[in-house]
A and B are shown apart, each in its own frame.
Chain A
Amino acid sequence: MSGIAIGYTVQGLFTIISVEKTVPPVHISTIGKYTALEAIRTRVPATALLTLAVLLGASLFIRELAVTETARFQIGFYAAAARFCAVFITGLYVLASISREFSDKGLEVLLALDVPRSHYICGKLAGFMLTACAIAVLLSLPLWVLAPAGAAMMWTISLTMELALVTVLSLFCIVTFSQLLPAAGFVAAFYLLARSVTAMRLMGANPVAGQDTLSQQVSRVLVDGLGYLLPALDRWTDTAWLVNAAPEASVLLAIVAQGTIYIGLLAAATLFDFYRRSL
């Protein structure tokens, strides 16, 4: 611990290196491994498989109902529903898992050992992200058969980034709020807001009434501020990629870059709150 304490006295990001030098990163991989194992034992893959089967069956039903563009109907329904279900399963699993750990006092036991808090968070994140990645790949499998391979690949990568973001968002919320209900509410509100922030910005910039009143100016500034703080998830994992045309590679690169930045931001915020947490 003294090594860590000395390491923490060094300012800035260079401290991370010194911390890694003094404490073996084996803690992170061990915590990550057991977090992923926990996901398997709590039947998360089975839940994802069941979701896949139900959605595939429902999409076949939709395909039968459609008179024309049957494949388009099936892909459109499956992709939109799979994206929503994947986000739901991932977010709820992270919230429930950490919430249970708080309730069982498992966290206290773990932190009583020689494990830095940052390693606990990084390990958990690694395990959860591995689970999220597995969910994204699993639920994308039918699209690799139904849609063009290039479009399906981009969609899968985008969904993986989206689930990784939801994972770290859920971890941040449960660490900050401790209780399941406010954390789940915040995750849901954040996700819906992030998917509608572009539309809100457009409506704020072009009011239908055409008047430039003070209230409209204030709301425009607020909405623009939200735009700065939230990732525009409406441009991610778009069903249109599968049924119309795959996007340019630059679109995917932008998603990966934005996702990486935001995951880093939320991870830092989680660490910040977790270090301030009193056991």
Chain B
Amino acid sequence: MKLTGLTDERALRAVPPFVGALLAATIALQLFWHSLQPAPTARAAALPPAPEIAGLRAASFGEPVATTQMLLLYLQAFDNQPGISIPFRELDYNRVAGWLAAALRLDPRSSYPLMMASQLYGQVLDTGKQRAMCDFVRARFLEAPDARWRWLAHCAIMAKHRLKDSALALRYAADITRHAGSASGWARQMQIFILEDMGETESAKVLLGGLLASGEVTDPSELNFLTERLQALENAGKPSAESKSRH
């Protein structure tokens, strides 16, 4: 039937019957063929090794930032493959670290790979994998301490409270103090409080005294607080309840 004025198509009767029959037959055949096919099954694919940095640079076509973002989104979404969800802890963390390192080399100013390492992949309930991510963050921190200290500080807190490894936390805190000159005061002082909690009051006193003497701390309130801490350490000779509640 032709809808005059609404369309310039010819009426349906202009179509030869064999064309209609052919169309109906092929549609029926397509539906029949599809019904014969097995339903697709979800298969978890293993994370492939990270691409070479030279190849990534070539593939970025001069857009390393955008390529890094795509790379990281791919990695981030890898746990959610079509029809299946893979827990992070089942991923190969050596490969995860390889992907994160590749992204960081492509765009060194991006904080996203370190955030993923410390906040996403570092949160799995597997101490080996948590340590692997912390090691990754430390290695990348040493490449640009002033830009990446906050992620190592997070790892120091994670080492102390999740991994219950105060020595590791102290090493990370010491790295921040030693290498990251522009880190916030709380991060640079973290080493002192970890030492205090570990019962290393003498070392804590030396460090705290040294920090006050160096003139690095200029804020009056912070100076007052740190001086009080030093006095408390000297008077008590052991970690106070207040410092324990701090962390």
Contact = CB atoms under 8 A, between A and B. Distances in A.
Partners in one complex: yes
- A contacts with B: majority SS: helix
Query: Which of A61, A208, A265 gathers most chain B CB within 10 Å?
Result: A265
A191 to B, nearest CB: 17
Given A61-B58, A268-B23, A276 B14 contact: yes
B40 A198 contact: yes
B10 A268 contact: no
Given A258-B33, A264-B29, A268-B19, A202 B80 contact: no
A229 B23 contact: no
Contacts of A8: 16-18
A19 interface: yes
Interface in A239-279: 254, 257-258, 261-262, 264-265, 267-269, 271-272, 275-278
A134 to B, nearest CB: 26
B26 interface: yes
A261 B23 contact: no
Contacts of B241: none
B30 A261 contact: yes
A201 B83 CA distance: 8
Given A8-B16, A61-B58, A275-B16, A269 B23 contact: yes
A152 B11 CA distance: 48
A1 to B, nearest CB: 13
Contact of B52 (A66, A208, A227, A229): A66
A272 B21 contact: no
Interface residues of B, number: 37
A15 interface: yes
B52 A272 contact: no
Nearest to A210: B85
B62 interface: no
B103 to A, nearest CB: 18
Interface in B1-56: 8-12, 14-23, 25-27, 29-31, 33-35, 37, 39-40, 42, 52, 54-55
A67 B52 contact: yes
Interface in B191-222: none
B83 A202 contact: yes
B246 to A, nearest CB: 39
A208 B84 CA distance: 7
A66 B55 contact: yes
Contacts of B39: 201, 205
Nearest to B18: A15
A106 B63 CA distance: 46
Contacts of B23: 265, 268-269, 271-272
Contacts of A200: 82
Interface residues of A, number: 46
A258 B18 CA distance: 22
Contacts of B83: 199, 201-203, 205-206
Contacts of B19: 118, 268, 271-272, 275
A84 interface: no
B24 to A, nearest CB: 8
Contacts of A268: 19, 22-23, 25-26
Contacts of B34: 227-228
Contact of A276 (B15, B25, B31, B54): B15
A16 interface: yes
B18 A19 contact: yes
Query: Which of A14, A118, A200, A202 gathers most chain B CB within 10 Å?
Result: A202
A202 B84 CA distance: 8
A205 B39 CA distance: 10
B30 A228 contact: yes
A276 B19 CA distance: 11
A65 B31 contact: no
Contacts of A15: 16-18, 21
Nearest to B53: A65
A73 B12 CA distance: 53
A198 B43 CA distance: 12
Contacts of A10: 17-18
A272 B24 CA distance: 11
Given A12-B21, A201-B40, 17 more contacts: A9-B17, A10-B17, A12-B17, A12-B18, A62-B58, A73-B55, A118-B19, A202-B82, A228-B34, A229-B30, A261-B26, A264-B26, A269-B23, A272-B20, A276-B9, A276-B14, A278-B10
11 contacts: A12-B18, A15-B21, A16-B18, A202-B82, A202-B84, A205-B83, A261-B26, A271-B23, A276-B14, A278-B8, A278-B9
> Nearest 7 pairs between A and B by C-beta?
A202-B83, A15-B18, A265-B26, A268-B23, A199-B82, A202-B82, A268-B22
